[in-house]
Amino acid sequence: MKKSPGERRGRNQKRRKVKAKALWVGIVVSMLVVVAAGAPRDAVPASAYATPVPLPSPDRLLYLIRRQFRSHRPPPPYVTYTLVRKQTLDDGYPDLVNSYTYHIWCRTYDRAALGRRVYRGSARGTLEFLRPSFNEPWDPGPPTADLFEAAPVRPHTNPQTFVPTPEPTGSIPPLIASVSVMGEFDYRVTAVTTQGNVTHVSLLPRRDPDRNRLRELYVDSKTLELQQVVATDKLYEEDENKVYPMMFTVTLGSVQGVPVVTHIHGTPTYEKDSDYLGKDATVDYDFNDVVFPSGLPDWYFNPRSYASHVDDAPS
C-alpha cells in the first residue's frame, strides 16, 4: 500500500530531528573533552619518579669501602680458630710436609697467639708461640686481620721479638665539627664494574707496590662490605732461604657482625729475577671454627710459662 505525500514528509522531518540531536550531543561531548584537557592537573610527587643516584668517584668509592671495613674495628679482644693449610708441589701433588692443621688462641690487639698442631685423633703437638701475620715467614692471619694494612718494610725473623703496633681502642671521641677531606696516596683505581649485587674495584699501587699489596676488591654493592680481596703475599722456604712471590685470593665472611677471613687461595706469580714456586704449586688456608671468647688466660701469650702449663694446656 502506497503512503501519501503527507506521511512521507512527516517521516523525513522526524529523521532530520534525530540527526540534529545526535550532532548536538557530539558537539557537547567534544567540548567537555577539550575543557578537561585544559584543566590544571595535580602535581605528581617527586618521589613517584626514580631519581638516578650518581656513583661516587673512584677514589671516593675506595675511601668508602675502606671506611666501611674499618668501621668494625678494633675487633673483639680474643679470637680462637682452626687453621687448615694444604699445599701442593710444583707437579700438583700434595705437599704433605707443608700441609697441616693448628688450633690457635689469639689476642687480637698484638696478634700474640698460642698454637698447637693437630694430629690424628686427640694427639696434639707442643705449645707454640705464634704471631699470625700476612707477608711474614709464618702463616697468615688472624681471621680478624686488617686487610688494608701495608706489608712490613722487611720480614721479621722471630714472632716473639716482633710486636706490631696495637690498633686504637676505646670509644669514639665526640664530634665537634665536620670537615670532608679525602686523599688517596696508596692506590689508584683503574676500573669499577658492577655485576648483580657485587662491585669489582681494580687497584694499582701509586707507590711501594711491595707494601701496598691490594690489587682487586669485591664488595657488596649496597653495603660496601668486603667479600673478597686479591692481594700479593710471599711464601718463605726457610731451609733453602728462598722467597716465592704469591697472589692471595682472600674470601671473607662474618661472625657476630665482624668481617673475618674464611679462606685464602694462593697461586705463584711471575716476577722477573725472583724464585718461582712452580706452575702447579698452590697453597690454601681455611679458617674454621672462628669464635670470640670473652677472655683467655694471660699465660697463653707468654711463651716462658708454657713449660709449667703442659698439664692444663688447651687442646
Q: Output phi, psi for 247, to 5 deg.
A: -120, 120
Percentage, residues of the chain above pLDDT 70: 73
Instruction: Give residue 145's pLDDT band: very low, low, confident or very high (50, 70, 90).
Output: very high
Cis-peptide into 142, omega within 30 deg? yes
Residue 233 vs residues 107, 133, 247, 248: alpha-carbon distances, Å: 23, 11, 6, 6
Cell numbers representing residue 163 in the block: 710486636
Chain centroid to Cα 264, Å, comes to 14
Count the Cβ atoms, other than its own, within 10 Å of residue 38: 7
* Owner of C-alpha cell 687448615: 84
In this prediction, residues 266-275 reach a mean pLDDT of 71
The predicted model scores a pTM of: 0.78
Q: What tens digit of pLDDT does each residue of 154-182 get?
A: 888 889 888 887 776 655 556 565 555 55
Cα(123)–Cα(117) distance, integer angstroms: 9
Residue 283 vs residues 90, 147, 250, 280: alpha-carbon distances, Å: 11, 19, 12, 10
Name the strand (E) or helix (H) holding 38.
Answer: helix 5-38
3-state secondary structure of 32: helix
Cα(130)–Cα(153) distance, integer angstroms: 20
What per-residue confidence (pLDDT) applies to 252?
98
What per-residue confidence (pLDDT) applies to 3?
47
Cell numbers representing residue 65 in the block: 669501602
Q: Cα Rg for the chain, rounded, in angstroms?
A: 36
What per-residue confidence (pLDDT) applies to 53?
54
- Terminal CA-to-CA distance of the chain, rounded, Å? 122
Chain centroid to Cα 235, Å, comes to 24
What per-residue confidence (pLDDT) applies to 18?
47
What per-residue confidence (pLDDT) applies to 50?
53
Q: What tens digit of pLDDT does each residue of 33-71 get?
A: 444 555 555 555 555 555 555 667 999 999 999 999 999
Q: Which CATH number is 58-157+183-293 given?
A: 2.50.20
Residue type, 132: P
Cα(250)–Cα(39) distance, integer angstroms: 63
Q: What tens digit of pLDDT does each residue of 81-129 get?
A: 999 999 998 788 898 989 999 999 999 999 999 999 999 888 999 999 9
| Domain ranges for the chain | 58-157+183-293
What per-residue confidence (pLDDT) applies to 142?
98
Q: Output phi, psi for 299, to 5 deg.
A: -70, -20
Cα(136)–Cα(156) distance, integer angstroms: 7
Tally of CA atoms within 13 A in the half-sphere of 85 that contains its CB: 20
Worst-scoring range by mean pLDDT, 17-26, 242-251, 254-263? Answer: 17-26
The sign of the dihedral angle between the CA atoms of 302, 313, 137, 70 is: negative
* Owner of C-alpha cell 701442593: 88
